[in-house]
């Protein structure tokens, strides 16, 4: 077993990306993710790669398009307002079936908002932030270790399905330092016979494009994409369920909120209350079946997010439960475990959940 190292979440993403063979980073600085481009600017030239600070977010996402079309592992990162600027390019990447890793270290919005942590880009991430029918594989780490692990997984699955993968993180996870193990085996980058690498001895040209003026061709292309997303829903669902079997109340949360939910759960269990935590790790594909299963035994849910209520809509949709409560904080605020514990008590006593933003 290798030694643990202390790293910021943003740096862990960079280290994982380079170890995954991603030698091309394109981006534009924005707090609270700038340690990631700083890390790449320092490390990539030493390790045989290229770091390029583009003139804008728009330029950087299209540089990723170009690099990914050439068959190399490439990535970009930003934070909420900057990530919004990339949406057009992301739609193109999805349409072009180009594997890459996108990172959004979320901050509070809307607008320029704040540089403090937020989780209000869930809709944008999971429902399609750009135009057209497309989805991203959306991975939501809740620790610095998972920032590392899920970056590796993101590249792997992006190549496997030829889709863009999105690591949806937040300012707290990006800025915090924790112990990380870097001893995971990295699978080799698969061959990409479709990549634009020059004609060479191939019979046909490889072309990556997203314009499709023939109606039936585009409809068929949409079918191919939808089949892909169906495969994701079938094969790539990931989640963590803690103490959900006997739980009267299940907290549902992802990312930084899930850590606080776990602390609140520990407090509730110590007080003799049957509380569990369900944490989606893939936000798309959303762990629908596993969450639906819990609805057969539990009495209520408390969804907590750093938003006014986004993932809660998926929890309502999936569980069909009439007892889906919500507690959100925004503006860069994080709830403390005691705050969530108070909400747990209120629900257990049949009271209205306070601070309800819905």
Could you list the residues that contact other proteins (CB under 8 A)? 4, 6, 31-32, 115-116, 171-172, 175-179, 256, 259-260, 262-264, 266, 334, 336-337
Instruction: Specify the residue, 23 or 265, whose C-beta has the smaller distance to other proteins.
Output: 265
Q: Which is nearer to other proteins, 31 or 210 (CB)?
A: 31
Direct distance between the N- and C-terminal alpha carbons of the chain, in angstroms, rounded to an integer? 47
Residue 193 beta carbon to other proteins: minimum distance, rounded to whole angstroms: 44
**Shortest distance, position 116 Cβ to other proteins, whole Å:** 7
Closer Cβ to other proteins, 15 or 159, answer by number: 15
Whole-number minimum distance, CB 105 to other proteins, in Å?
A: 12
| Shortest separation between residue 268's beta carbon and other proteins, angstroms | 13
CB distance 166 to 106 below 8 Å:
no
CA geometry: angle at 37 spanning 175 and 99, to 5°?
Answer: 105
Beta-bridge mates of residue 170: 106
Contact 126, 286 (CB under 8 A): yes
If the CB atoms of residues 192 and 329 are measured against other proteins, the closer one turns out to be 329
Do residues 206 and 216 lie in contact, with contact meaning Cβ atoms separated by under 8 Å? no
Q: How far apart are CA 340 and CA 336, in angstroms?
A: 7
- How far lies 153's CA from each of 241, 244, 257, 275, 297, in Å? 20, 26, 22, 30, 32
Residue 102 Cβ vs other proteins, minimum distance, rounded to whole Å: 23
Query: Nearest to residue 123, comparing CAs of 138, 144, 145, 143?
Result: 138
Q: Which is nearer to other proteins, 109 or 164 (CB)?
A: 109
Alpha-carbon radius of gyration of the chain:
21
Q: How far is the CB of 248 from other proteins (least distance, A)?
A: 21
Q: Which is nearer to other proteins, 192 or 262 (CB)?
A: 262
| CA–CA dist 160, 157 (Å, integer) | 5
């Amino acid at each position: 077993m290798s030694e643990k190292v202390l790293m910021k979440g943003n740096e862990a993403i960079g280290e994982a990306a380079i170890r995954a063979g991603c030698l091309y980073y394109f981006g534009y600085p924005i707090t609270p993710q700038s340690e990631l481009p700083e890390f790449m600017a320092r490390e990539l030239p030493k390790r045989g790669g290229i770091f390029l600070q583009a003139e804008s977010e728009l330029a950087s996402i299209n540089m990723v398009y170009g690099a990914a079309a050439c068959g190399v592992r490439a990535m970009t990162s930003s934070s909420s307002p900057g990530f919004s600027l990339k949406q057009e390019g992301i739609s193109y990447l999805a349409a072009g079936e180009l594997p890459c890793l996108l990172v959004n270290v979320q901050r509070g919005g809307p607008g320029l908002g704040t540089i403090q942590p937020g989780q209000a880009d869930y809709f944008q991430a999971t429902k399609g932030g750009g135009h057209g029918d497309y989805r991203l594989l959306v991975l939501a780490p809740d620790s610095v270790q998972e920032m590392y692990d899920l970056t590796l997984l993101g590249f792997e699955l992006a190549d496997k399905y030829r889709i863009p993968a999105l690591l949806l993180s937040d300012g707290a996870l990006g800025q915090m330092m924790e112990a990380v193990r870097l001893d995971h085996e990295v699978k080799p980058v698969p061959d990409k016979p479709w990549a634009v690498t020059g004609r060479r001895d191939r019979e046909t040209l490889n072309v990556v494009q997203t314009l499709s003026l023939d109606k039936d061709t585009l409809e068929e292309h949409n079918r191919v994409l939808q089949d892909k997303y169906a495969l994701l829903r079938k094969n790539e669902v990931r989640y963590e369920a803690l103490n959900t079997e006997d739980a009267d109340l299940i907290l549902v949360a992802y990312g930084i909120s899930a850590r606080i939910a776990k602390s609140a759960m520990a407090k509730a269990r110590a007080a003799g209350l049957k509380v569990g935590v369900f944490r989606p790790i893939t936000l798309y594909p959303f762990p629908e079946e596993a969450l639906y299963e819990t609805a057969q035994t539990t009495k209520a849910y408390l969804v907590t997010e750093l938003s006014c209520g986004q993932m809660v809509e998926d929890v309502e949709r999936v569980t069909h439960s009439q007892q889906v409560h919500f507690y959100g904080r925004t503006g860069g605020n994080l709830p403390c475990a005691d705050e969530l514990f108070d909400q747990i008590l209120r629900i257990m006593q049949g009271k209205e959940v306070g601070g309800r933003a819905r």
